[in-house]
């Protein structure tokens, strides 16, 4: 048994029932088939509502659907894009930009988060400038990114980097600050110091919070893709979406949005799965709870 497991088992002790505590009600037995059916019905209802509003050119107060394409037009535009040789170029360029920006943000965000969350001097020295930069939206970075980097590719990677780093950073800080100080004290009493303390106690305890930040950071990374690819002159899903707007290809706008949503959902789900796989001790705690 590793040191974190030994410390956690010793500190937790045997679970004792609490008198007067309300009994937890049983959950509704929703299996995989039921969950899939509910999700499919929800998507179908959304499509029907979209079709009804778009085909009727509805006006709902200050919202108008006069120029919103119906699902049939979006489907035709999507099939046309899927059969186009430019699809692989659009997707390839976007994935490369997302990958470079996200990995850089993950390394910087987790590293700085561990440092700031653990050491008071680091929090006092690094948090003030980071807190000033955090509210700045990705769109505001575009002119400065063009001036800072000679390559447009690096500029777009930087925009996705700025979108991902702060959720990762803040969740890592909160995860480190939430580490039980009794675990740290017990590890020190057993002779654990320095990098080993980080590797065996602090990092495993903060891992659920870190992976939550990584998942949110992946979503915001795709969110900033359109802003990043506004400075691109050729390829990318975000560029395709913006180009469709400038050419008044309204169905193409929705196709680009759906592609971004699908890729963002899949990549965030992949990060969550990796976090679920990498933190088996956290799953055991959830089952006991």
Tokens 């470079």: give the residue.
100
Residue 46 in domain: no
Residue 193 in domain: yes
Residue 15 in domain: no
- Give the model confidence (pLDDT) of 231-270 as tens digits: 766 788 988 988 888 888 899 999 999 999 899 899 999 9
Residue 29 in domain: no
Q: What is the CATH number of the domain that holds 215?
A: 1.10.3720.10
Structure confidence at residue 61 (pLDDT): 81
CB 176 within 8 A of CB 117: yes
Residue 36 in domain: no
How many structural domains is the chain composed of? 1
- Give the model confidence (pLDDT) of 111-161 as tens digits: 999 999 989 999 999 999 999 999 998 888 888 888 888 888 899 999 999
Residue 94 Cα to chain centre, angstroms: 16
Nearest to residue 219, comparing CAs of 268, 169, 158, 269?
Answer: 268
Structure confidence at residue 12 (pLDDT): 45
Nearest to residue 257, comparing CAs of 276, 274, 237, 243?
Answer: 237
Residue 216 in domain: yes
CB 237 within 8 A of CB 91: yes
CB 175 within 8 A of CB 113: yes
Q: What is the pTM of this model?
A: 0.79
Structure confidence at residue 36 (pLDDT): 82
Residue 263 in domain: yes
Structure confidence at residue 102 (pLDDT): 95
- Give the model confidence (pLDDT) of 162-197 as tens digits: 999 999 999 999 999 988 888 888 888 888 888 888
Residue 50 in domain: no
- Give the model confidence (pLDDT) of 37-86 as tens digits: 888 899 899 999 989 999 998 888 888 888 889 999 999 999 999 998 88
Domain hosting residue 212, numbered range? 71-288
- Give the model confidence (pLDDT) of 76-102 as tens digits: 999 999 998 888 999 999 999 999 999
Indicate if the pLDDT at residue 4 is higher than 50: no
């Amino acid at each position: 048994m590793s040191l974190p497991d030994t410390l956690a088992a010793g500190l937790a002790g045997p679970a004792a029932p609490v008198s007067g505590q309300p009994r937890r009600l049983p959950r509704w037995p929703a299996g995989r088939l039921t969950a899939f059916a509910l999700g499919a019905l929800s998507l179908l209802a959304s499509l029907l509502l979209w079709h009804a509003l778009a085909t009727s050119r509805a006006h709902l107060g200050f919202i108008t659907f006069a120029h919103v394409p119906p699902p049939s037009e979006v489907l035709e535009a999507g099939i046309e894009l899927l059969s186009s040789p430019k699809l692989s170029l659009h997707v390839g360029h976007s994935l490369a930009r997302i990958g470079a920006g996200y990995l850089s943000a993950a390394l910087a965000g987790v590293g700085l988060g561990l440092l700031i969350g653990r050491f008071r001097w680091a929090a006092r020295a690094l948090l003030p400038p980071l807190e000033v930069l955090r509210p700045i939206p990705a769109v505001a970075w575009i002119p400065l990114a063009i001036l800072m980097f000679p390559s447009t590719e690096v500029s777009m990677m930087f925009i996705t980097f700025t979108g991902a780093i702060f959720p990762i950073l803040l969740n890592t800080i909160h995860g480190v600050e939430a580490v039980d100080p009794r675990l740290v004290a017990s590890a020190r009493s057993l002779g654990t110091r320095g990098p080993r303390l980080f590797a065996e106690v602090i990092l495993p305890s903060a891992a659920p919070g870190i992976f939550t930040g990584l998942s949110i950071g992946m979503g915001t990374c795709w969110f900033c893709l359109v802003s990043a690819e506004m400075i691109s002159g050729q390829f990318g899903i975000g560029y395709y979406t913006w180009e469709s707007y400038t050419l008044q290809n309204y169905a193409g706008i929705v196709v680009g949005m759906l592609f971004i949503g699908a890729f963002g959902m899949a990549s965030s789900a992949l990060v969550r799965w990796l976090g679920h796989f990498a933190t088996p001790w956290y799953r055991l705690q959830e089952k006991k709870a």
